Chain A
Amino acid sequence: MAVLVIADNDNAHLRDGTNKTVTAALKLSGDVDVLVLGKGAQAVADAAAKIAGVRKVLLAESDALGHGIAEAQADAVLALAGGYDAILVPATAGGKNFAPRIAAKLDVAPISDIVEVVSADTFVRPIYAGNALETVQSSDAKKVITVRPTAFAAAGEGGSAAVESVSGADAAKTRFVSEEMVKSDRPELAAAKIVVSGGRAMGSAEEFQAVIEPLADKLGAAVGASRAAVDAGYAPNDYQVGQTGKVVAPALYIAVGISGAIQHLAGMKDSKVIVAINKDADAPIFQVADYGLVADYKSAVPDLMSALTAAGK
């Protein structure tokens, strides 16, 4: 059995989700290849070659692949699919965008967002916003699977796989127009060790920036937000932690002024340590928090900043 892992990358950097998906792939088979889709992505392929346990790295390049156009990505994978029994894709926005296309073209059922590999044909995946876990067994000969990165440990370095170029693909009916990426010196939300999130209690975008961002910067943390805060326009959409946003599992998650709606909990309940700051002692967030501070964030966050300074942070 051979497995193909599609790398998560931005043409310049290999993202951590790739290493985590390799870990899931190694549970299926020892023959794991990584396919890098991009443009000018040699450095990504070289980085993927260093992941321990990877047999071979394939690099497919084209303009459309460089822009993450799903039609081209699916076609590039399909050209190689014959040689593999399973295709594993990190369940990022980019991965979720093209993986189902591959499944449709292969006439197989996609298995979305798995959090556990039970056996070569049986997997566990969250449904109903993480309120239930479904164990499914696939009868398809070839499997197309997206992998929730936070559910798997990252495969380490130490490999020295060969890198081979394969043909890229283009998309005839889809054209890239522009992109607007959020520039930030903070760590990436999905991969950060500490995440500080703000909720609707902030009341405005200005307040969100004035309260949440300095605390995050003091801790070297990524900034997150509840859906309520995002919907109200206090924080950009890609800050959203939850079932409809990003799923995170940092070592420390600090929820400030977040009540703890089911949909938010689904995105952060696997964090190692959860801290909740909320003035409502009955807020559901306290039911999952390791440490709860019942206080108005307006006084609690400045107090926390000074306590951190006092502790030499």
Chain B
Amino acid sequence: MKVLVPVKRVIDYNVKARVKADQTGVDLANVKMSMNPFCEIAVEEAVRLKEKGVATEVVIVSIGPAQAQETIRTALAMGGDRGILITSDADLEPLAVAKLLKAVVAEEQPGLVLMGKQAIDGDNNAVGQMLSALLDWPQATFASAVEIAGSTAKVTREVDGGLQTLDVDLPAVITADLRLNEPRYASLPNIMKAKKKEIAQKTVADYGVDVAPRLTVVKVTEPAKRSAGIKVESAADLVSKLTTAGVL
């Protein structure tokens, strides 16, 4: 079974995003960029499926600027087999990304799409569900455990108030939550090997998909700052302050 793993290049999760003074967006100039953490978990899961003999090939796809090539290389160093880079200068909306991925699925015919539940820049949490809907494939989002058994996948999901286990027919779209696994660090030999792996170069235009934006960003602003309050001397002092504030 071939597994397709879409990955996104985003601001590193340890870097605090700063809003541009002209309110047009977040300043990404000279900011450290990395693979979206949820995508990393999806890559790890796909590689583990290959190591278990369940997956035969792990194909990494990324849509973004030319530098997204580095993100694909990172995934290849973790154990992906080959990559597809679809360059786009515009920051595409989830609907456009889902349509492009649908076109990639039509070409690649994977048995499973494994991807992160959300990107930490746009925080939409939408592409996996949308891709599944466009393909009319079943979905299993927010996965914390994945078990492939023949033509179905048993997926444990993080839901409100606990865990739910679903059994979905393959092909399907599965999105990874934080606790699915702990991604590996690529070893130096694997990083060297990844440099020789094939990355197909495509552009958005190659897929003939309508990617026109549906949303206009009016402005991007900084949230209201909370100011630091006071330090209390003791627990008793704290209780009296909270009682006065009327929150106890």
Interface of A with B (CB < 8 Å)?
Answer: 10, 67-71, 74, 92-94, 96-105, 107-113, 122, 125-140, 171, 173-182, 188, 194, 219, 227, 230-231, 237-238, 243-244, 251-252, 262-263, 269, 272-275, 286-295, 300, 303-304, 306-308, 310-311, 313
Q: Which of A177, A181, A252, A292 contacts B231 (CB 8 A)?
A: A292
Instruction: Give the interface segment out of B43-51, B130-138, B188-196.
Output: B130-138
Given A92-B160, A128-B120, A174-B138, does the pair A135, B218 have CB atoms closer than 8 Å? yes
Contact of B126 with A103 in the complex, beta carbons under 8 Å: yes
Interface residues of B (CB under 8 A from A): 11, 13, 16-19, 26, 93-95, 98, 120-134, 137-142, 144, 154, 158-169, 172, 177-179, 213-223, 226, 228-232, 234-236, 238-243, 245, 247-248
A173 to B178, CA, bound (A): 25
For chain A, what secondary structure do more than half of its interface residues adopt (helix, strand, loop), or is it mixed? mixed
Closest Cβ of chain A to B245, distance in Å, is 6
Point out the residue from A107, A175, A311 that lies within 8 Å of B167, measured CB to CB. A175
Asked whether, in the complex, the Cβ of A307 is within 8 Å of the Cβ of B238, the reply is: yes
Q: Give which listed residue, A104, A178, A243, contacts B134 with CB less than 8 A.
A: A104
Q: How far apart are B228's CB and chain A's nearest CB, in angstroms? A: 5
Query: Within the complex, which residue of A96, A179, A294, A313 is in contact with B162, where a contact is CB–CB below 8 Å?
Result: A179
The one of B120, B124, B219, B228 in contact with A129, judged by C-beta atoms closer than 8 angstroms, is: B120
With A137-B215, A176-B164, A310-B236 known as contacts, the answer to whether A112 contacts B123 (CB < 8 A) is yes
12 contacts between A and B (CB under 8 A): A101-B130, A126-B223, A127-B122, A136-B218, A139-B216, A173-B137, A173-B168, A174-B139, A177-B166, A219-B248, A292-B231, A304-B239
Q: Is the CB of B17 within 8 A of A110?
A: no
Residues in A with CB closer than 8 Å to B222 are: 131-133
CA distance in complex: A298, B14 (Å):
29
B216's closest neighbor in chain A, by CB? Answer: A137
Cα-based distance from A243 to B124 in the complex (angstroms): 12
How many Å lie between the Cα of A188 and that of B98 in the bound state?
Answer: 34
CB distance from A232 to the nearest CB of B (A): 12
Q: A104-B95, A137-B218 are in contact. Are A291 and B232 (CB under 8 A)?
A: yes
Q: Is the CB of B133 within 8 A of A238?
A: no
Q: Are B217 and A131 in contact (CB under 8 A)?
A: no
- Residues of B contacting A252 in the complex (Cβ-Cβ under 8 angstroms): 242, 247-248
Residues on the A chain within 8 Å of B123, using CB: 112-113, 125-129, 243
Given A100-B130, A177-B167, answer yes or no on A112-B124 (Cβ-Cβ < 8 Å).
yes
A295 CB contacts on chain B under 8 angstroms:
235
Told that A100-B127, A180-B164 touch, could you supply 14 new A-B pairs with CB distance under 8 A?
Answer: A110-B94, A135-B218, A136-B215, A174-B166, A174-B169, A176-B165, A176-B167, A178-B164, A179-B165, A273-B247, A291-B241, A292-B231, A294-B231, A303-B234
When chains A and B are docked, how far (Å) is the Cα of A300 from the Cα of B133?
51
Q: Check A71 against B238 for contact (C-beta < 8 Å).
A: no
Of A110, A171, A272, the residue contacting B130 (CB under 8 A) is A110
